[in-house]
Amino acid sequence: MICPLCEQGDLFYAIIKGTTHRIIVCPECDAAWTHIENANQLYNCSTIEQVLLGYNLDNSWKNLIVNDRVDS
Ligand SMILES: [Zn+2]
């Protein structure tokens, strides 16, 4: 599934390191959706930085375990 924001990157499922919280991220524009059913909705969009900050984690891809590409 192509990111609805930048329309360039593919969306991927990712797990926040040290948690079981699964989110959707765009590696291209760093958009993040914390509710995976909302990835095709522009609202509810956050950024990877904001999400990681909420877990007291640095804004780094090292804090994400990236999994499968999101099917459309
Ligand atoms: Zn994007």
Q: 41 is in which domain, residue-wise?
A: 12-69
Q: How many alpha carbons fall within 13 Å on the CB side of residue 28?
A: 12
Residue pair 33/1 in contact by the 8 Å Cβ criterion = no
pLDDT of residue 35: 79
Compute the distance from residue 10 Cα to the ligand 1 centre, in Å.
Answer: 7
**Residue in the structure block whose two tokens are 């390191």:** 17
12-16 and 22-25: which strand pairing? antiparallel
Count: domains in the chain: 1
Is residue 55 in some structural domain? yes
Compute the distance from residue 7 Cα to the ligand 1 centre, in Å.
Answer: 6
Is residue 7 in some structural domain? no
pLDDT of residue 37: 72
- The stretches of 12-59 forming alpha helices (DSSP H) are 48-54
Q: Which residues of the chain have pLDDT under 70?
A: 38-39, 43
Is residue 30 in some structural domain? yes
Is residue 61 in some structural domain? yes
Compute the distance from residue 31 Cα to the ligand 1 centre, in Å.
Answer: 6
Is residue 34 in some structural domain? yes
Residue pair 1/72 in contact by the 8 Å Cβ criterion = yes
- In the three-class reduction of DSSP (H, G, I as helix; E, B as strand; rest coil), residue 38 is classed as helix
